[in-house]
Amino acid sequence: MKRSLMCLAVLGVLSGCSMIPDYERPASPVADVWPTGEAYGPLNSETQAMELGWRDFFRDPALQRLVGIALENNRDLRIAALNVEAYQALYGIQRAALFPDVTADGSGNRTRTPEGLSPTGEATTGGQYSATLGVAWELDLFGRLDSLSEQALEEFLASEATQRSVRISLIASVANSYMTWQADRELLAVTAQTLKAYEDSLALVQRSYDVGVASTLELTQARTAVETARSALAQYRRLVAQDRNALTQLLGQSIPLEDLEMGGLDMELLADLPVGLPSELLFMRPDVIAAEHQLRAANASIGAARAAFFPSIRLTGAAGSASNDLSELFDGGTGYWNFMPSISVPIFNAGRLRANLDYSEISRDIRVAQYEQTIQDAFRDVADGLAAHETYADQVQAQRNLLEVSESYYQIAEQRYRTGVDSHLILLDAQRQLLMAQQQLVNDRRNQLISEVNLFKALGGGWQVGDTAAASAVPEA
């Protein structure tokens, strides 16, 4: 018995050998600095956008409230949170395999033997009772179980990072839907105002036509402009309704319109974004973190595949007490024990273990490529956002200037038409140019705001401590 215990202790000390390959983070496949050129402004490398939470970035109280509602009710975010809990449970299951299984069992039976079957020719009644403490333990001498546990841990951490990535995407989606909704509401108002101007112009042309001053062509042109505006009005009514439906789905509940004070797109809705260096920034994005954890998990699976080539040792033992009488179950002389070690050595498996190792190594190489692709995608997201940040500012300002010129042009054309200097065709051209300038300004401003939100998302903002839905804690064994 002492020798068995000594062997068990020695094997326990030897267990824990790992065959997981040493992990090295792949070299970054992108440049160390952001792109430069006419489309990019001066970059601030002193701070990082990670320091700016979404509550600080979104200055519109209505948008802040909508994002808060979505974080509480969105179903995709709930699914992501439940996936984290599921992977946490799987990690607990896999880690438990490293430790012995200890069971306590008790059994008993009473048997009556009739006279015809009894050797003595008399009916007898007997019983048997036992109480057993059993132990079963697979010694992880070559690290197979530890590798599987490491793989499960990395998959859990990847799911937790994925949850943060889903959270950031949800914040950006709510903001972008809100900007689109606001833009379409403004376009609806502009179209309604334009329709009113076209109807007034049509009434003026109709009076002129009735007295023989305006031609049939001018009257037809005026009616065409009115019907075109009515068609656009119906289109924007549909878009506004669809925008509300999309935002409602993201929120997970109806929009609280009764007490939602919404501002226009011309307000300062967003804060300025600082930008850090790629080497300090990209590796903090949740999707990059998740990709690296997936790579680590694939690396750990190689250790498990390697360990499968070596013998597996399992120790099974039991100790307890047995008696024919329940009242004597724990009396002296009723104890028993057994110890049953076993070893399994792979000899022939038709190449299954070799193929499993090859599969694990190929899976690791795939994860490396996916990790590098994630970094490249992240770099492009930020680079595109930086280019949009600078160019949209110039574009929106130029469009504002064009709107001022178009308004002046329309006022002059209307005055000259009323005084009979110019034809109605000139007035229609001025009205169309004014409408196009108004619509384009709203669209440019919306695109500018959306590009800022996308840059905020690309920089990995919005998941600081205190805002995170789930803590980044390793589950206990």
How far apart, in whole angstroms, are the C-alpha atoms of residue 281 and residue 460?
A: 8
Q: Is the pLDDT of residue 16 over 90?
A: no
How far is it between the farthest Cα atoms of the chain? 137
Mean pLDDT on 226-242? 95
Mean pLDDT on 279-300? 90
- Candidate ranges 107-116, 276-285, 335-344, 366-375; pick with highest mean pLDDT: 366-375
Q: What is the structure's pLDDT at 207?
A: 87
pLDDT confidence bin for 5, thresholds 50/70/90: very low
Percent of the chain whose predicted confidence (pLDDT) is above 70: 90
How far apart, in whole angstroms, are the C-alpha atoms of residue 271 and residue 277?
A: 20
- Please state whether beta strands 124-139 and 335-344 pair in parallel, antiparallel, or not at all (unpaired): unpaired
Q: What is the structure's pLDDT at 465?
A: 39
Contact 71, 250 (CB under 8 A): no
Mean pLDDT on 194-216? 87
Which residues lie closer than 8 Å to 201 by C-beta, 6 or more apart? 222, 225, 424, 427, 428, 431
pLDDT digits (tens, 9 = 90+) for 399-441: 999 999 999 999 999 888 888 788 878 888 898 999 999 999 9
Q: What CATH number does the domain located at 17-98+141-311+351-458 have? A: 1.20.1600.10
Q: What is the structure's pLDDT at 51?
A: 61
When comparing pLDDT for 192 and 218, which is higher?
Answer: 192
Q: Is the pLDDT of residue 130 over 80?
A: yes
pLDDT digits (tens, 9 = 90+) for 20-46: 999 999 998 988 888 888 888 766 554
pLDDT confidence bin for 237, thresholds 50/70/90: very high
pLDDT digits (tens, 9 = 90+) for 291-301: 999 999 999 99
pLDDT averaged over every residue in the chain: 86
pLDDT confidence bin for 379, thresholds 50/70/90: very high
When comparing pLDDT for 99 and 126, which is higher?
Answer: 99
pLDDT digits (tens, 9 = 90+) for 259-272: 777 878 888 888 88
pLDDT confidence bin for 112, thresholds 50/70/90: confident
Q: What is the structure's pLDDT at 18?
A: 79
SS (H, E, C) the chain: CHHHHHHHHHHHHHCCCCCCCCCCCCCCCCCCCCCCCCCCCCCCCCCCHHHCCHHHHECCHHHHHHHHHHHHHCHHHHHHHHHHHHHHHHHHHHHHCCCCEEEEEEEEEEEEECCCCCCCCCCEEEEEEEEEEEEEEEECCCCHHHHHHHHHHHHHHHHHHHHHHHHHHHHHHHHHHHHHHHHHHHHHHHHHHHHHHHHHHHHHHHHHHHCCCCCHHHHHHHHHHHHHHHHHHHHHHHHHHHHHHHHHHHHCCCCCHHHCCCCCCCCCCECCCCCCCHHHHHHHCHHHHHHHHHHHHHHHHHHHHHHCCCCEEEEEEEEEEEECCHHHCCCCCCEEEEEEEEEECCCCCCCHHHHHHHHHHHHHHHHHHHHHHHHHHHHHHHHHHHHHHHHHHHHHHHHHHHHHHHHHHHHHHHHHHHCCCCCHHHHHHHHHHHHHHHHHHHHHHHHHHHHHHHHHHHCCCCCCCCCCCCCCCCCCC
Mean pLDDT on 151-176? 94
Question: Model pTM?
Answer: 0.84
Q: What is the structure's pLDDT at 469?
A: 39
Mean pLDDT on 154-181? 94
Query: Which one, of 286, 310, 309, 321, lies nearest residue 460 by Cα?
Result: 286
When comparing pLDDT for 67 and 116, which is higher?
Answer: 67
pLDDT confidence bin for 15, thresholds 50/70/90: low
Mean pLDDT on 339-355? 90
pLDDT digits (tens, 9 = 90+) for 51-94: 668 888 999 999 999 999 999 999 999 999 999 999 999 999 99
Q: What is the structure's pLDDT at 47?
A: 45
Q: Is the pLDDT of residue 209 over 80?
A: yes
Q: Burial letters for 383-408: b for 16+ Cβ neighbours within 10 Å, e otherwise?
A: bbbbbbbebbeebbeebeeebeebee
